[in-house]
Chain A
Amino acid sequence: MIIAIQNTIGALANRIGIITQNLQMWLGFKKADVLGAELVVNGDFSDGSNGWSVNSGWSVNSEGKAEVVSGDLISTSSLVIGIHYTATFDFAIVTNGGIASCIFRASTSPYTNYLVPNSTGTYTVDFIATTTGFKFQTLGGGNSNYTIDNVTVKKAGQFAPDKSTNTNNAKLFTGKAIRFDGVNDYIELGNPNVNLKSICFWVGLGGGAVPIINISSTHRISVVSGVVTLAGSWGTHDIYVNNVLTTALGNEYSRVVITTDANILVDDLEFGRGGSTYSLLTLSDVQIYDKVLRSLDVAYDYANPNNLLIDNSATDATKSNLVGYWALSEGSGNIAFDSAGLGGELVTNGDFADGSGWSVSSSWGLGTNKVTYSDTTNGDVRTLYSIFTINKAYQIKLTVSGLTGSNAAFFAIGASSSSNLVDYSDYANGNYILNVIAPSGGELRIYSTTGSDSSYSISNISVREVTDNEGTIVIPTSGDLVGATWVDQQPTIPQLGMMDWSKGSNLMTTSEPTGTGSYKSGVVFQPTNIYNWNGIYYGDNSVRRVAFFTAITVVANTPFTISVFVKMTDGSIPSFSNINSVGIDFSFNVSGTPTIAAPIHLGDGIYRIAITAQGGSSTTFNILIEKTTSNSAKTFEVSGFQLEQSSTLGSYIGTNGLAASNATLIQNPNDIGKDVLGNSLRLREGGFNLDGIGYGEVADDVTLTDITNGTIQFWMKNSDTSKFLLFSSDTNHYIGAKNVGGVFFHSNSGTITSVIDNNNTVTAGDITDGTWHLYTFTGVNLSAYTSFKISDYGSAWMNNSIIDEVIIYSDVLTTKEITNNYKVGLSKHQN
């Protein structure tokens, strides 16, 4: 019955719609446009010279294009100095009298040149306005005719479109990136051992001829004099900048996509450095595909920066083609996580540095960094340890080289002795990539039969799990930051506000043991079964065993939470306490009287356990997991240590030498709804998913500043009890400041009336209950606002909740109208 009533309300809402009378702005946050509204009046010259100041050298010809002999073509459209714009226009040569060109430039001094077209074509340029106007200025010295047409200039960035008629679009500043200082910063990603056919990244240049991404000892992507430059052999390749086939790269954020038909092995991946040269630039959202992307993929990627191109139903690329995905969205810590969803390397000696870990039959021989088969007898090479779990997905890679004789002898890749995953009866030298479902458990086996004088070698063997399994995760490959600096509040690049994400803080500088710490008798450092992260193993011999993980520092007299992942060898639920006692498995020994939460089962016998304590005056102490003779005689593994300055347990975030604060991870495409560490995402539910760092901004406009007694209405889903501020122009003009208690504060000179949902009075419980509510502020005065910011009070009091359907009216809504809008929005904002 409840559902039926709800559906009825929803159906009614769809018919009645929200109040549109006196509507000045309506941000639905359904999507974000990559460019702002069109700023050029009559850019296609369909209305003659309207919108242009045309001197005697220019005229609108019979084809409706601006044709020139000499002089300036000046737009009357107005720009804002210092703002980033993207312009496009068609340039066509009619008669080339020697100098057939013009300059697209600032209209007044200083005459900054934005672009100089030199042949017929469509041109795109990103520029920072140095004056409020722009023009096309002819170049002297020739006797040429050419035309200009279809001129567009739009603000660059991502914009939540205004659904009213006023184009009060909100520019989004919720992107994160990593910045390299050009001296000694880089990210070391090692040897991902993936095959590159396409690579995509956002880059903002800082100057100089610098490497952007190092691929291997021979392959590198650099920028030299504003031109994307490739080192190494890239075969037939295409370079796109902002969805245009060009190598020209400006200083503003640009999306670069490079495709190649060459087989490029990524085995020395670095961001921000190549060889001994360091880069001065900013980088975000690096994706590597083992497939040549098509132009439709490039177009979708550019137009939908908050989505993966594999989300496009028209693409033939799949998530298995995404072999590297460094969103660089963390914003803190020193790990750049690969969110592609492939697990850690399962082969410990895949390059055959020696024979360890392998069983090599007599028909194979161990060579230098390879095993070689010669046509003598059937035989195999297999790992000495189990790799596969039945029915799980894996990606297997290897290299075949040195083939001599015929290729009649096949080789097979199998799991255990008899379950071949794939058979090859006609093969050649080259790199092989297989995506398989393991038909059985067991070791990796490469098997070859006798052929006609055939001989070949196998090397670079890799097996990684495709983490497409609900509730389980494996070790993520990651890159270590060396000095590079996170930057946030970035426009243009992928916007976290329009994505689902998880957020975690870990004040432990190293969340996984390194093997160099202090381990007492009976405690052993080892890679654990817990997601294959490094961890420590506690034996069951009857001695006191303590693993001192590290000294930690907390804020005095403030709550903190410690958590770890635990897997008991016998599969039981961990029994733990704060102090040693008979029967429990282990203890933490945190001072005071901490609160112990029930273990959270994550699957596969892995539990996350947490303990929360109220900090005292002592701020520095050691974190330890203790097991004494009084504890139970069970063995277990521990990993994933996390310390949070919070009374609640948050998402896990790994660290490796540097603490992380409010680090955000995006979705692992192979584990929908979770990040690559297995944390559940906070879904944006069609709203603006603010993380307490980013914000949105609507530019100054009379449709807003004319409001002296209006209404702001919005939906919000909030569980954050800390103070925040929702809307502001500057520190003197704000509304919706949540400080203490349940009421909102404001700077309005008049009276603000705040109601929630269907005309109810706001209470504290309504605000932080983590469910959707409609809020209405009436009596709003925006006349002194120079911009309308969402969650930016001088980079303070940032909001950490989801906001949706932000609507502004120039009048005060009646209670009946509030009820109407509440019913309209209710179906979308279900809790």
Chain B
Amino acid sequence: MQGNIFICLNRATYKGLIPTELEGKYSRKVYDEEGELIEILPTTFEKMASDNRIKYGGVIEFKIGVKEYFVIEVDCSWLDGSVSALLDLGSGLAYPNNCLMTNTEAIELVSANTKDVI
């Protein structure tokens, strides 16, 4: 399975809670033994990325200077407001802080900021 958008999160956002628009799809939930929903747990982007690693891929971590960034892949829609919510995270911030990206743009950002050993 594949997501449809990438976002480069700064550390504060990555460790912070996901926007409410994403909660329905990505928040952690607790069910009882009969399968009934009991509780919706506060969920961070870090937890969300971990929960969806198999679907969308791993978290790419890198540094620019001393600042840490985390590129994650998600599946979001304009219709439910989740894309707008992600856009708002980067409002007024410099690239690549909380910047939404296409696949090609994500490749360029990651390859420019990661180094391989072989």
Contact = CB atoms under 8 A, between A and B. Distances in A.
B54 A657 contact: yes
B39 interface: no
A183 B33 contact: no
Interface string B92-118: 000000000001001100110011111
A184 B57 contact: yes
Contact of A483 (B33, B34, B57): B57
A481 interface: yes
A126 interface: no
A280 B57 contact: no
A184 B59 CA distance: 7
Interface in A267-295: 274-278, 280
A274 B54 contact: no
Interface string B24-46: 00000001011100000000000
Tell me if A's interface is mostly helix, strand, loop or mixed.
Answer: strand
B118 A181 contact: no
B57 A185 contact: yes
A621 interface: yes
Contacts of A232: 118
A481 B56 CA distance: 10
A218 interface: yes
B106 A183 contact: yes
Contacts of A231: 118
A208 B111 contact: yes
B107 A182 contact: yes
A548 interface: yes
A181 B103 contact: yes
Contacts of A276: 114-117
B15 interface: no
B34 A183 contact: no
A338 B37 CA distance: 38
Contacts of A184: 56-60, 71-73, 110
B114 A482 contact: no
A220 B118 contact: yes
Interface string A462-496: 00000000000000000011111100000000000
A123 B110 CA distance: 37
Contacts of B58: 184, 186, 482-483
A622 interface: yes
Contacts of B57: 181, 183-186, 482-484
B35 A620 contact: yes
A551 interface: yes
A658 interface: yes
A334 interface: yes
Contacts of B110: 183-184, 278
Contacts of A481: 54
B53 interface: yes
Contacts of B69: none
Contacts of B53: 482-483
B55 A183 contact: no
B54 A480 contact: yes
Interface in B46-80: 53-60, 71-73
A178 to B, nearest CB: 11
Counting contact residues on chain A (CB < 8 A from B), the size range is 20 to 34
A485 B54 contact: no
B1 interface: yes
B117 to A, nearest CB: 5
B54 A280 contact: no
Interface string A216-255: 0010100000000001100000000000000000000000
Given A182-B103, A183-B60, A183-B71, A334 B33 contact: no
A763 interface: no
Interface in A39-70: none
A518 interface: yes
Interface in A398-413: none
A218 B118 contact: yes
B55 A483 contact: yes
A480 B31 CA distance: 27
A304 B30 CA distance: 51
Contact of B54 (A482, A518, A551): A482
B91 interface: no
B70 to A, nearest CB: 10
Contacts of B14: none
B71 A622 contact: no
Contact of A277 (B3, B59, B114): B114
B111 to A, nearest CB: 7
B29 to A, nearest CB: 10
B71 A551 contact: no
A183 B72 CA distance: 9
A622 B35 contact: yes
Contacts of A334: 54
Interface in A163-183: 181-183
Contact of A551 (B31, B59, B60, B117): B31
Nearest to A658: B54
Contacts of B6: 183
Looking at B1, B57, B60, which has the most chain A CB atoms within 10 Å of its CB? Answer: B57
A272 B10 CA distance: 26
Of the listed residues B6, B31, B53, B54, the one surrounded by the most CB atoms of chain A closer than 10 A to its CB is: B54
B66 to A, nearest CB: 19
Contacts of A280: 107
Nearest to A659: B1
Contacts of B72: 184
A277 B110 CA distance: 9
B68 to A, nearest CB: 15
A158 B20 CA distance: 50
Given A183-B106, A184-B57, A658-B55, A551 B114 contact: no
A454 B56 CA distance: 54
Contacts of A185: 57
Contacts of A621: 34-35
B1 A277 contact: no
Contacts of A186: 57-58
Count chain B CB atoms within 10 A of each CB in A183, A277, A485 and give the residue with the most: A183
Contacts of A657: 54
Contacts of B59: 184
Contacts of B116: 274-277
Interface string A533-555: 00000000000000010010000
B15 to A, nearest CB: 19
A527 B53 CA distance: 25
A213 to B, nearest CB: 12
Contacts of A484: 57
Contacts of A551: 31, 35
Contacts of B111: 208, 277
A209 B1 CA distance: 24
User: What 10 A-B pairs have minimum CB-CB distances, sorted nearest first?
Assistant: A483-B57, A184-B57, A275-B116, A657-B54, A485-B2, A183-B106, A182-B107, A276-B114, A231-B118, A621-B35
23 contacts: A181-B103, A182-B106, A182-B107, A183-B71, A183-B107, A220-B118, A231-B118, A232-B118, A275-B116, A275-B117, A276-B117, A277-B116, A480-B54, A482-B57, A482-B58, A483-B1, A483-B55, A483-B57, A483-B73, A484-B57, A518-B33, A551-B31, A658-B55
Given A186-B57, A483-B2, 11 more contacts: A183-B6, A184-B72, A208-B107, A275-B116, A275-B118, A278-B107, A482-B57, A482-B58, A483-B73, A551-B31, A551-B35
